[in-house]
Amino acid sequence: MVVEVKKVAKRYGKKNATQVLRDVSLQIEQETCVALLGASGVGKSTLGRIMVGLERPDEGAIFVQGERLLVAKHKRFRNKVQMVFQDPQSAFNPRLTLAESLAEPLWVERVSKRECDKRIGAMSEDVQLDQEFLDRYPEQLSGGQLQRAAIARALICRPSFVVLDEVVSSLDVIHQHHILDLLHGLKERYGLSYLFITHDFQAAKYIAERIAVLYGGKVVDQIKKKENEGWQCFKHPHALRLQKAVLAPHGILSRFI
Ligand SMILES: Nc1ncnc2c1ncn2[C@@H]1O[C@H](COP(=O)(O)OP(=O)(O)OP(=O)(O)O)[C@@H](O)[C@H]1O
């Protein structure tokens, strides 16, 4: 098992606290993509941040390759867990070129300049980002190009688990497919595990081997893709409503959630 979420609870605020997560348990195996599907505000990003050690759970724990992930020591997990966000612009320092941004996590690891250049070159090839972009600043790239760079930055320290938080939501359908195919290829190549956060059932089906539905602070349903049989069916009424709502014509979604 690469990642285990054990009975995680999280609330924000003190008086009239919002209980976002109540009792979340989830397991992600090696080279597996689990899509976390849920309506807006249900706590998907909160769980994602907890799973990479950016936030502390109030109860429960996260284990990465059997080791407990502690927020105070999350830097030590840089080589194991990473996160890619919806808005790639926010992931980059506008004053650094892409090459400098990609090198930053390697400098922290005291990787030599020569090895740094080699890894940046290889990684930009892996994410199909033209080498000429490496000398550009973030504002000089399109959203799709910058998302490729954000993926490269997340993978450059060779983690085994990556949280992908709505990484294709801001792209058009063609670029969404390119990025999803790229992520799938990288997963196979590096034996990665993903938590793919989304509210798009179609994108979840396209990239994931398993879909978990978050509702009321818990994972209420999980379905798997079975070889030659396609996807299992949801059982939980909310998961079914979510599936139908996502498949329904634009605008219907809000009536169901
Ligand atoms: N730092 C914070 N302080 C207080 N409340 C927060 C904080 N972060 C998130 N929340 C609240 O927790 C709830 C869950 O937010 P979260 O961003 O995890 O949901 P989400 O499912 O990812 O939503 P979306 O799909 O819209 O991004 C929301 O009500 C949000 O306002």
How far away, in angstroms, is 41 Cα from ligand 1 center?
5
| 248 has a pLDDT exceeding 70 | no
Mutation test of ligand 1: which of 10, 36, 42, 46 has the most ligand atoms closer than 8 Å to its C-beta? 46
pLDDT in tens, 195-225: 999 988 989 999 999 999 999 999 999 999 9
ipTM, 2 decimals?
0.97
pLDDT in tens, 144-196: 999 999 999 999 999 999 999 999 988 889 989 999 999 999 999 999 999 99
What's the pLDDT score for residue 167? 95
* Residue 28 near residue 214 (C-beta atoms within 8 A): no
How far away, in angstroms, is 21 Cα from ligand 1 center?
10
How far away, in angstroms, is 57 Cα from ligand 1 center?
14
| 257 has a pLDDT exceeding 70 | no
Mean pLDDT of 19-44: 96
